Structure 1
Amino acid sequence: MVSPPHEAMHRIFQHDPGLFSRVSRFLGVDIPAPVKATALPTDLTEANPVERRVDTLLRLETAGQGPYLLAVEAQGKKHPDKPASWAYYTAYLWTKYRLPTALLVVCQDHATAKWAQQPVSCGPPQLPTLTVQPLVAGPHNMPVITDPEEARADLVLASLAAITHAAEPGVDAILKALSTALRDAPEDIAKPLVEFTAQGLAKRPAKNLWRNLVAVDLSFYKSYLAEEVRAEIRAEVRSEVQAEVRNEASAESRAEDILLILEQRGLDIPEDVRSRVTHCTDPELLRRWLARAVTVPKAEEVFEDACTGSFPDPSRPPTPYGPPSPS
């Protein structure tokens, strides 16, 4: 089963086929912008029962160099079988469509990116019949876009930057810039980018930041992600309010217990003592006062700061219920 980051890393190129030409400058090549793009079937299965499926396949047409195919693969980790699969993809596509074929691999960690960009030959060392060396986009070469204006200039590239840097320390700044830039974007533009970014972050810590940014910075924006975050916030607020109400009720009940014990013991309760007890909202402090109310000889001494020690004078026997013994 494919993961959300896997889907985000290649489907963003389906969403904006021109993104490849803009990404290429970070990869050390100059690919002209397409004037036309067509999504092609991704199933490369032959007549025999061997299934081969590329993640995203696009037919891009340029003004000066003619059409070519772009196969985009999302790679989450090293896999020894992948170079052979990539060689198959490119050879098969070249054979089927008779068009030059480019292979782009998108990664989210440095180790996988370094592994993916190594050339792999299918022939012996002295005869490298077919060599596969894909272009690789990842945290090592994708831009760290932290300026909202720069993000606003290319929202899709900024989203890809966040996806490829999902595990990097700088991702928070990228997400903040992207959310700020999306404030002015129409909903039909913002919506897919919010979702691509959320998919790309998956279960990484930055996902929570993105959820909060979507809920706050894009408060006007309606999506399952934003509504989910707002629902969680509302639930948290309700929970906090309910907890506060319970605490207040508990404090009020404990204060009543303190005063009742003092009254049942026949102790005089000055108004300032009664007021201090009833206005206290600290459950732990009330618990200590309640424990002391059972033994203190005077109501004022229920407060720990009203006597010199933490407990009443041990030379005086406690009088649990009833008036204090005459001294």
Structure 2
Amino acid sequence: MVSSSHEAMHRIFQDYPTLFTRVSETLGLPFPSPTAVTALPNDVTETKAVDRRIDTLLRIDTESHGPFLLAVEAQKKKDPEKSASWGYYLAYLRSKYRLPPLLLVICQDRATAEWAARPDPIGFCSWPSLTVRPLVVGPGNMPVISDPAEAVDDLALATLSTIVHGASPDIEGILKTMSTALREVPDDVRNPVVEFIFQGLDKLPAADIWRKLVVVDLSFYKSSFFQEVRAEAKAEARAEVKAEATTAQAAEDVLAVLDMRGVDVPEEARARITGCDDPDVLRGWLRQAVVATSIDDVFRTE
């Protein structure tokens, strides 16, 4: 099933068409600057064939080298069958559009990135007729952006870097950099970036860090996704308050029953009862309090 993280890793190239230029510069590759970028249909299915779709497909025009096709694939894990699909995509695109195709693979972990970067020769014996050799972006070659001013200067690259480093031990600092940077930009620039990061982090632990940062640092952010997150946070907070109130009442009930029965409750035992936050334990103590003749009888259920 396609995840929001998978979608964010390739769709960002649709929203920020010049991002590939910055990525290629980061990788140290001398690709010419684009003069135009056009999103193309990503369906490469043949009649009566298996459904095949490239994640994102762009036509990029350059002044010095003419146009080329950029196929962007988001890869979350190793897949032995993927290289064959990529070879198909490249051959199909070359045949259909008569333009040179380039494959860019975006990964969120080093192992997958290293696997994806290995050239895969297609041929027989020592003669490859076609070699699948994608450009790969992953935590190993995408720089960590820790300066808010640098992030503001190139928000698209900073956003992609944040998504790619989503599982990095340094992700909290990276996210703080992004939240700080986003305070300084207009809503129409900020909002898509916030959404891409939400989607890109998906179910990673870093997603919770980003939620909290957005609530605190970007409390004015008003997207529907954010409103949903904020509503969930408020519901969780209300549930916690209700649970605390319930356990506090249960502790008071235990003490009230013991008082009615004339059972002495030392300060240590009183603190133990009022400090308990387990409803099941408190219910057990309450049942024992009804028949207890000493405080030891109450705790005997444990």
Q: TM-score range by the shorter chain?
A: 0.7 to 0.9
Counterpart for residue 322 of structure 1 = none
CA distance in 2, matches of 1:16, 1:242: 45
**8 Å contact kept, 1:119–1:132:** yes
Query: Counterpart of 1:219 in 2: which secondary structure?
Result: coil
Counterpart for residue 130 of structure 2 = 130
Counterpart for residue 144 of structure 1 = 144
1:72 equivalent in alignment to 2:63: no
Instruction: Give TM-score, length-normalised by structure 2.
Output: 0.83
**Count of residue pairs the alignment pairs up:** 286
1:233 to partner: Cα distance: 2.7
CA distance in 2, matches of 1:242, 1:253: 17
**8 Å contact kept, 1:158–1:174:** no
Counterpart for residue 17 of structure 2 = 17
Query: Counterpart of 2:160 in 1: which secondary structure?
Result: helix
Moved more, 251-260 or 129-138: 251-260
**8 Å contact kept, 1:27–1:136:** no
Instruction: Give TM-score, length-normalised by structure 1.
Output: 0.77
Q: 1:246 to 1:36 in 2, by over 3 A?
A: same
Counterpart for residue 185 of structure 2 = 185
CA radius of gyration, larger in: 1
Counterpart for residue 206 of structure 1 = 206
Runs of 4+ in 1 over 3 A off after TM superposition: 243-262, 279-282, 284-288
**8 Å contact kept, 1:41–1:57:** yes
**8 Å contact kept, 2:252–2:274:** no
Counterpart for residue 81 of structure 1 = 81
CA distance in 1, matches of 2:79, 2:257: 68
CA distance in 2, matches of 1:61, 1:231: 44
1:258 to partner: Cα distance: 4.6
1:64 to partner: Cα distance: 2.6
Amino acid in the other structure paired with 2:51? E
Counterpart for residue 321 of structure 1 = none
CA distance in 2, matches of 1:233, 1:51: 40
**8 Å contact kept, 1:37–1:58:** yes
Moved more, 241-250 or 13-22: 241-250
CA distance in 2, matches of 1:81, 1:248: 57
Deviations 1:50-82 (CA, angstroms, capped at 9, x unpaired): 432211100111233222110001111222222
1:216 equivalent in alignment to 2:216: yes
Q: 1:259 to 1:129 in 2, by over 3 A?
A: closer
Counterpart for residue 155 of structure 2 = 155
Gaps of 5+ in 2: 277-281, 297-302
Gaps of 5+ in 1: 268-272, 296-301, 303-309, 311-327
Query: Counterpart of 1:77 in 2: which secondary structure?
Result: coil
1:199 to partner: Cα distance: 1.7
Q: 1:75 to 1:245 in 2, by over 3 A?
A: closer
- Overall identity of the aligned pairs, in %: 54
Counterpart for residue 101 of structure 2 = 101
Counterpart for residue 283 of structure 1 = 274
